[in-house]
Structure 1
Amino acid sequence: MGMGTVFPWPIWAKASPRTYPYGDLGFIFITLIGVIYLILMWFIGISFYKAFKASSRREIKYFSIGLLSIAFFDTLHSAGNALFYFLNDSRVPIEIGSVTIYYLPFATSLSTMGLFICYTMIYLYAAVMMRNQIAAVDKFVILLGITSIFVGFNPYNWWHMVPPEGAIDTKPLTGTLILIMGFITAIMFIKNYRVRLKRELREKPHSVIRLKLTLIGIILLVAQIFLMTLHGTMATIKAPWAATALLIITGAKLISLSLSVTFIYIGTIWPAWAEKIFKK
């Protein structure tokens, strides 16, 4: 098949595709987990935005932007994974006139960008809630987040492709930045929980359950960061068992993140339906 100019990065034309590694059952498993994950991320993201509109607290807006960003870009990424299964070509090439879009590598770049946006916005949520302002250290984290977005989007990550021999591969750098941004976010969230959030929730109805749910959400956020690191490590292993392990880790990663934001949402916002569920 003749290829036109490759979008978004012409240099990707030099890369080779991979075949789908998970099989039929793996595809069904990851699709079911992915659909549940996306439904939760969209629902919680929209719910946080509604809470912001009702309260006008800007830190809640930051959280909603982070969740809606990752929900949107991961929706595109999930579509790419489905096409990968059906086409058995990790590039998922889509020809439009003289242009060939490598859809899955492009969608993965956007998904990585969405993850960095999410981490940065959740960090700002915790930082602004704790300090009521954006401090100098917060500006540094924002700058690090913006830098990470560009690193995650650059063509030399070669997402889901086999790079040409001798090519630069920045995936290790991108993975390191994901780890750094994730832990910075988690540390700020834990600090905010101890300094302000814990005090605020103690003064509200159902304080005990709300504190527990929020803490569980933070623990799951930390677990998701470890799983992201493990995911990146497993992706470099070519042994036959690694594909199965990677599939399980991917599912656990999606579950931990979706449950994390759900518990944090219930604990901090306490929607009306939570009142009915936990009413004594």
Structure 2
Amino acid sequence: MHDFNRPKRNLPREIYNTEAYDDLEEFYDDQTKLQIYTDRGIYRPGQRVQYKVIMLTRDPSTGQNIVFSKANKYFKSWMADNEPLLELKDPNYRTVDSIKLVPDDYGSFSGSFVIPKNAMTGQWSIDGDVIDGDNGYFKVEEYKRPTMEITMEKPAEGPLPGEPFELKLKVKSLSGADLNRVKITYQIIRESNYFGNAPYINPIVTDTIGYTDEKGLLVIKVNDVNLPKKILIPIRNGLSLTGYQPQPQKPLAKPPARITHSAYLHGRSRSTFRQ
């Protein structure tokens, strides 16, 4: 059994003890944070940014991230005391827009912000006013005429949780020619609902770089080893990528052309299958 009265020096701050915190309410307040995701990594002025937020805290016994929601008896009073906001901030960290943060029963909140048409280019962010957020950064850039297109071939049937699958990306120039050795930066994010105080699983499945072959094809093999195979809720995997068109081997006055793409792959729930 965990001893909350162990000396503070022997426990990390992520685990509750009576020397570091007056009570559990103070512990949950100190450990609360936001996990923030946007549907893309790059936008143009005037475009809409779709976001999803998951409110997290830590298990007082293990220090593991858990969802902070109505299932926690301190959640209601914490929300009343803090009245948190979600804010859209420009590269100068000035608040451009905000909305009251009201998570659902699963600790999640989703919506959108519209980037002003006269927006400053650079790195923007979505963050909480009283809670720190992770991963809420994105870029705003002026429109650049695309010179290539990316298409994706999904599996014929959505995979079961924990089941490996493949995604095939095809890159072509707008003239129809295949483009080889195109650099693709991609991120695959798992989306699901978390119940009660269930352990929170990092939704980033992979975040890496690949290159197309001589036919302009990149095969992405996904094996979500962190997802329990017997999970009984449906999983949705989101793919966000940026392709960089290859350039001649000489100094350039401006960066290479690129294109962004995002898509979702809906998985099946094991609750409809016999174990």
TM-score range, shorter chain: under 0.3
Of structures 1 and 2, the one with the larger relative CO (CA 8 A, separation 6+) is: 1
Structure with the largest fraction of helix: 1
TM-score between both structures, scaled by the size of structure 2: 0.24
Structure with the largest fraction of strand: 2
